[in-house]
Every structure is written in structure tokens, then in C-alpha cells.
Structure 1
Amino acid sequence: MRNKTYIYLIIILLDTLVPSQKLTGKNKYTVKIIQPDPIQAPVISSVTVSPENKNLVVWEQHANENIQYFKIYRDAANPDDGWINVGKAMYPGNYSFIDPSSYPNVRSYQYRISTVDKCGNEIFNTQIHKTIRLTVDKISDATYLLKWNPYEGFDIAGYKIYRGTDVANLSPIDTITALATGYTDIKNPYKDAFYQVEAISKQDTITIQKKLSLNRGRTRSNIASNKSVLTSSDTADTSKIQVYPNPLTINAVVVFPYDASQTYQLSILDLTGHTIYMKQVFSGEIEIERKNLKEGLYIIQVAGKKTYRKKLMVGSYKAWKQ
């Protein structure tokens, strides 16, 4: 878009002039003032899950030569901490961002975005998008209950349910109403099944940046499974994380190879992968408490650039010694 040009006529009166003197052309000045077009706030189109299992934020921005970059914000794990800046994307050309410190299987996230101009001014949009987090509960050998939180950020036309034998082989099995937050799969033919939910927007997928091939009218959840969290094909490192004492009776200490340049989330999961407890950690030695954990087997997970997992037994010390 072009800058707007305004022409002003400014008459300068000199103190030395007296009423009998007439103004001449030398006392008149024409000043050209160029006022740049105002920068419009960016608009998030969707937040979906990337093939790397990280949140992918996609947005649109009206072109303006005075834009320098975009800043991406995410809600903190602790609500009292408000919003945290998770990264930036340079302008022009970048209208998407993968959040490297997001863990879609652990929790749902909220995102907002701003544009920063060449003078350092930040222009926000009040729009907030919230991701879908999907969980799977086993009802019987062939029946599974899918549960998710609604997507927030655009009007939903409906949800599409995907199922497959692995994360790279998912096919749609049903489409349901926009009001739904659950689905029962009563005819699952697979012993190990993977699921994903897609929210479909009511709006067309026409975009400002036509050159981008990203589908802004749809957004997908994390991929959830009916499998146990720890399997023979699990890529998480189980050798470099220690939990002691294990079994856990009152409290325990989790030790792992901490890297100060990374962000880590510690989670306690049940054997179906449901998150029971989660917090962000800032050292390689974390104390955890039993609190309301019932007796049984759990998974301790520390997720950063690498993921570390360990089985955790919870119960009375005598019971585990027998």
C-alpha cells in the first residue's frame, strides 16, 4: 500500500512586519508531509499441531513497509504469570511459527500475536486462539471414548474424527456437530489405534497471503492413542532419568540431565497417557510429592528438546517390598 501525501500551506509572519507591509511570495512556504499508512494488527488464522508434534501458529497481516517483525505470545503454565513471549518471526515472508516449547499432549494452550514496527511500537490484536487437547479412554476392547476441549478462535462448523494404525496413517471416520466435546468409537478394529480431532471453521479459507499453502480453515488436535505410554517402540530416553525413592510413598526426587538453554515440563501420567500433574521445571533435580496419587503404576515424564520417561510406583513401602 502507498503512503498518503498531504499538502499544507503555511504562512510565516515575521515579527518585523508592520500592518502597512504586504506579504510577498517569499513569506509563503509549501511543506509536503508524508504520513505512513497505519499498521493493522495481525490476525491469527489457526493454531494446529505440526508433524513434529508442536503447536503451529498461522496468521495473516496486511502488507506495510514499516513492519519489522511479529511477536508470538502463549499463556503461562501458571495463570498468575500471564503471557510469555515464545518467539518472533521476521517480516516479510514469515506468517507462521512453530512453538518449540509446546507439548500438545500435555495441555491446551492459548496464543496471541503482535506486530512490531520499525520504531519499536507493538500493535496487538485482542483475538486469542486456544488449541484442542485430545484424550482417549478405553471402554472395552473395541470401544474408546474420545474427549477434548472446544477450539477457541473462530466459529466452528463441526469436528472431524480421524483414526489410524500409526501417526502417519490417519483417515477420517466421522464428522460431528460443533457442540460436541466427545465421541465414542464403538467399532475400532485395531489393537493399537491413534486418534486426532479436526475443528472446521465456518469461514472460507481465502487468505491475504495467497502464496502460503497452509489451510487456515481447519485446525487439528494432538494425536492421542489407546496404547500404553511406554512401549517397546517408545523413543523417550529411560536410562538418563532417575527417581528415588521408587516406590514413592510420601515424596521423591527426579534427576535428569538438565540443559539451562532448554525449557522443560515435568508430568505425571497414567498408563493411558492422561496427564495427572504437570509443572514447568528449572533445574535437573526436582522434588515431587505424592499428594492425592492413588496406589498404582504411573509414568514420570520430563519433556524438552529431548523427552525422558521413567516408571513410577506409588503405594506403601511394605506393599512394594512383598
Structure 2
Amino acid sequence: KISNQERGIVFVYKGNNGNNILNYSRQYTSQGVSPVQNGNSSGDQSGDFLLSHYANSYKGRSKMKLAWEIKGAGNAFSGTILNTSFGFDGISNAWYDGGLQGTEIVEEAQIATPGMNQWRVRTCFHPATAIDGILYSPWYHLTSGSAHDWNGNINAPLAPVINAEPQDLEICMGDSIELDVTATMGEYYYWYHDDTLIANQDTSNGNLVISNCTLDDTGNYYCISSNSYGEDTSLVISVTVHDLPIVELGADYYGCFDTIHLDAGNGMTAYNWNNGLSDSQILAADTSGNYFVNVVDVNGCENMDSIYIDFLYPYGGQEICVVTVDSASEYNLVVWEKPIDPSIREFNIYRQSDVIGIYNLIGVVSYDSLSVFVDSTALPREHEDYYKISVTDTCGNESELSPYHKTMYVGISSGPDSSYVLEWTPYLIEGYPDAIYTIFDGSYYIYRGTDTLSFGPYDTLAGNIFNLNVYASGLPYFRVGTKLITECAPANLKFLSGPYSHSISNIEEISNGDYIEEKFNDQLTVLMYPNPAKNILNIELNAKNVMEDISIRLIDVFGRQVYCKSFDGSVNQFKQPINISSIAHGLYWINIETGNQQFYEKLVISR
């Protein structure tokens, strides 16, 4: 092994009388025992023979090889010349510090006849053992026995020398350790962790990578670089793997709405909530969604955690279906459709106070109860009312109030010709300016009855008409309704009972006036009003299975017929106003006749 101090010039001598080194080149016969020529041959050589020369070294190099060549010289050369081996057996191809002490290299030459008239030899270094810039020696001629030296520079083989050391390292758990060492002449690199060789490492270079580090990777590290001539050891450096900071936001939350304070833990140098939502340790979460935080501790290590919050919000969008007036109690009924939602605990009914836009809670209905509220404190005969609804969930949270529903109100005032004017306000729904056409069927239905419990249809008007002239009769009670396009519950249409298909107004009564009413065997009812009459006399027929015509005559006190009209008895219901403005005022008899039945009643025309 050649150390750094032995690096320099290596001399290989082939004959040097001054140094007492043999300088012979010899020719042997094929048996190789006694030379037949100790110098340059000038004769014609043919057949099998051997050639040799001496190789000597002053300083050697292990595993360095020599090669040599023989060549013929002169114009008469012919035959096969062997370029001999790139190695030899004399010193087992290995040179040592003591050098080669006059080793003779002998090789066979087969020269055919006619042979060569001159031969020569030279020594060269095998290409695998590089010498700086010089591969072959000059040709060596033994023409006069003079000495010929040859030498060349060679870099002596070195043990590795580490020239780039690793550095101490601090990382976070989960990061990668990356250490680097470089060494001149380094062929292999072996890294050690706390004096234990690291398994499965790449030894062909000085780079060490340990991915996804744990706390167990903390410790001392060093590297040994080696080759065939020695080794060198790096500095021992310290690697510290820091644990990640602890951040725990807790389990996902599913429950009642509340403000939840999420705590990412104290002692951190940085907090980042939801990519910039907040940089504080504590975040107040008041909406449903995913929340995540990234924290950095004093070691620069990062960690994160997340939580999903799903608040139970009150059911949204609850609305009133319709508000109507109950015929029996004459109380307002607030009706709504009940959604299927187990989070609803109860429904809250609000009515506008005596201040516009201010609503007071007037009742609470549990989720399990019928979705109808009876407002026993309302006065539908005196004024209209505005209602709203909300829901309260099982957490005690109340939803926003719904759009309002305003009830209809019907009033009666005196009209012309002994008539009365029936007037009503429209049914209104907040946010639906055309509710009469979009929620209801576009019409107002007028009902009349003998009492507050018995009503029948009287007239139908378009949804943009809000008054009607009526007259006193035996059916003095009136109310107005409008029909929903979609009922509040899926069932057949039923007037004034659930499922609720109408909004019905309050009840109004014509308390004064007289009328004429006649019944014929419960098959025919004739109603005439008003009495006294001025210019108009209203006639109403309600017939059941009457086949004969019905005639009505007006007779003065002298027995003269002043008016006669016949009606088809098969028409079940009929209402006909008669213009009597051309008939003089006074006392008259009305004659009603059908089949073999007739009846007389007094009528007064007064102007």
C-alpha cells in the first residue's frame, strides 16, 4: 500500500549499467534454457524461439501490470509476430514497495521462414493501470549494449480523505434526514447511527436519506469512507427529531346550535384557522361546516387537526297554509301543514298587535298535536287580523317568523233602493301580491244563510271585485270566502271543515227589512225581497224535483194583472231581479202558482 508520503515518480528501468541493472535483451531457442543471442540480432531468424528483457522498478505500485511487444525491423521482415500478454507470471502481476528486482520477462516468438533480420522489444504499462500521460516506453534497441532508461509519473493510490463533513441537524417528526459526505478517492461509504451500521443504505455515495423520521431516529451519526487502500471517518454529528405539537380540537359535533369555542392549545408560535380565517389560539365557531387549524411550535414543527360541526338549526320555511273563521265558534282558525321533522318541538302562533309590524305570541302548539290553532281572543266581526308562525326545535331554538297572512273582513252598509252593500277586504299573503290568483283560484264566493251555522252559495265574483248589493230576506247572514288551489291537506273538498280548502270571512247580518217566503211541500221555496220594494224586486227559487212551470203574477187592488213571469221548475236554483220602477206605488198582491198549488201575499211598492 502506498501512503500519501510515497506519492510521486515511479521509475521502471530496462537496463542501466550505472545502476548495475542488467540491460540484456536475449534470444533463446524454443527450449528457453540458454540464450543464443545477448543483444540485437542481425541474422535471419526463423522457426520457434524466445525473446526476453529485464524489468526493474525503483518504487512499485500494487496491482500494476506491464505489457511488452516484439516487432521485426528492416525491409526483409516477414512472418507472424506475437504481441504478447497484458500480464505476466513472474511476480503474479503484483508489484510491491520493494520494486521488481531484475525480473526477466520471457515470451515466445514464432517466426516463419524467411524470418526477420532484426527484432526489438519495448515495455508498456497496461492501460488499466493508468500512468500520467505515458503509456508506452520507447523502443529498446541493443545495438551496442548501451543503457536505456525510461520513467514516467504515476499517482500513487490513496486511502480516502473526507473533504466535506456533515452538519448537526434538527428536524420534525415525519420529515426526512439528509446527510452528505464527500471524500477524495472514496469508493464506499458506510453510515452509522449511534455506532450501529445503518441497514439497506446505498454505499456507492456519501448521501444518506431517511424518510418519514420518528423520534427513534434521534442520535449521533457519522460516515466511514473506504477503498482498497484505507478509510477515513467523518465528524460525529447530532440529529434531533422533535415531536410534533399536540393539537386536539375534539370529536365532530352534531347537536343543538350554539357558539362552540375551538381551542388549538397554548404555547404555539403561530395559528392558522381555515387558511386565514383567524390567527388566534381560540376560534368561536357559530356556523356548520369543517374547521381545521395548522399550528407551529417553538421548534418550527407543524401539526394540524380538523373538526366537523353540524348544528341542529330550527326548521326553516314553515308557513301558514290558511286562516279562516270557524262557523260554530266564530273564532279565527290558523291552519298549517306539519312537516316531517323530528327536530321540531312545537309551533308558535303570532298575531299583529295594535302597532304595525309588531307581533305578539298568542299560542304554542306541540308537534304531536293537530296543526290548527283556534284564536279565541280574536274579534273577526270587528276587524281583520295578521298572523305569522314559527317553529321551536328540540334544542329550544326558534326559527324566524313566517310571512304574514291577513284575514278577510266583511261589512254591510245601506245601499240604494232598499238594498245593502256587502263589502270585504282581500285575503293577503306577504310576498304574494297576486295571492288571489296564485294561491287561490281567482274568485270570491258569497254565501248566505238563515243562521250562523247554515250557509249556502249565493254568488261568485272575480277576484278584483270587493263589494256586492244585497237585499234583506229570510237569509240575513252573509260571509265571503276564497278557495285554495291546493288544499291544506289531501282530502275531498269540504266547506267549513277540514281538510281546509277555503279561507272564510267573518259573518255579517242584515238585521232589518222584510221579505216574502213561501214553501210548497218542501219541494219548492220562493223567496221575494225586499218588502216594501222600491224599484227592484228580487225573486229566488229553490226547487227539488218540480216538473211544472212556476208562474208569478203581480195584481193591483182592482184585480188587474200588472206583471207576470213564468219560470222553469226543473231549475234547482234561480235568482231573478225584477224591475218594478214603472209600476205605480201602492198595495199589490203577489200570486205564486205551480201545478194545482197557489199562494197570495201582500207586496208594498213605496217610493
Same fold (TM over 0.5): yes
Q: Distance in 1 between matches of 2:482 and 2:448?
A: 15
The partner residue of 1:225 within 474, 487, 509 is 509
Residue from 64, 67, 71 that aligns with 2:348: 71
Structure-2 change in CA distance of 1:62 and 1:69 (3 Å)? same
Q: How many Å separate the matches in 2 of 1:208 and 1:63?
A: 15
Taking the aligned partners of 2:405 and 2:380, their CA distance within structure 1 comes to 14
Q: TM-score, normalised to structure 1's length?
A: 0.56
The offset of 1:199, in angstroms, is 1.3
- Distance in 2 (CA, whole Å) between partners of 1:37 and 1:214 is 33
- Quickly say closer, same or farther: Cα 1:189–1:145, change in 2 above 3 A: closer
User: Which structure has the higher relative contact order (CA within 8 Å, separation 6+)?
Assistant: 1
Q: Aligned letter for 1:225? A: E
Q: What is the CA–CA distance in structure 2 between the aligned matches of 1:107 and 1:71, rounded to whole Å?
A: 22
Superposed CA RMSD? 3.4
Q: Does 1:183 align with 2:465?
A: no
> Is residue 2:318 matched to residue 1:42?
yes
Please, which of 457, 460, 474 is the counterpart of residue 172 of structure 1?
Answer: 457
Alpha carbons 2:325, 2:333 under 8 Å: kept = yes
Which of 156, 170, 173 is 1:18 aligned to?
A: 173
Cα drift, residue 208 of structure 1: 7.8
Local SS of the residue matching 1:92: coil
Q: Is the 8 A contact 2:490 2:499 kept in 1?
A: no
The CA distance in 2 between the partners of 1:169 and 1:179, in whole Å, is 27
Given residue 90 of structure 1, which amino acid in structure 2 is its aligned partner? S
**Structure 2 gap ranges (5+):** 1-171, 175-212, 216-250, 255-309, 430-434, 513-607
Between Structure 1 and Structure 2, whose CA radius of gyration is higher?
2
The structure-2 alpha-carbon separation of the partners of 1:120 and 1:76, relative to structure 1 and needing over 3 Å to count, comes to same
Report the alpha carbon displacement of residue 126 of structure 1 after superposing the two structures with TM: 3.5
Please tell me whether the aligned partners of residues 446 and 480 of structure 2 are also in contact (alpha carbons under 8 angstroms): yes
For 2:499 and 2:367, locate their aligned partners in 1 and report how far apart those are by CA, in whole Å.
20
Alignment: residue pair count:
204
For residue 125 of structure 1, report the CA deviation from its aligned partner. Answer: 4.5
Q: 1:143 aligns with which of 407, 412, 419?
A: 419
1:95 pairs with 2:371 = yes
Segments of structure 1 that go 5 or more residues without pairing to the other structure are: 1-16, 23-30, 229-322
Alignment partner of 1:199 out of 482, 486, 499: 482
Contact 2:491–2:499 (Cα < 8 Å) also in 1: no
CA contact (8 A) 1:40 1:61 kept: no
CA contact (8 A) 2:481 2:502 kept: yes
Contact persistence 1:60–1:209 (CA under 8 A): no
Aligned-partner residue type, residue 462 of structure 2: T
CA distance in 2, matches of 1:59, 1:209: 15
Question: How do 1:1-322 residues align onto structure 2 when only pairs under 5 Å count?
Answer: 18-19=173-174, 20-21=213-214, 35=310, 39-50=315-326, 51-79=328-356, 82-139=358-415, 143-153=419-429, 154=435, 155-157=439-441, 158-185=443-470, 188=471, 190=473, 193-201=476-484, 203-205=485-487, 207=489, 214-227=498-511
What TM-score, normalized to structure 2? 0.31
Report the CA distance between 1:45 and its aligned residue: 0.7
Cα 1:209–1:37, aligned 2, differ >3 Å: closer, same or farther? farther
Is the Cα contact below 8 Å between 2:323 and 2:407 reproduced in 1?
Answer: yes
User: CA shift at 1:218, angstroms?
Assistant: 1.2
Counterpart amino acid of 2:390?
S
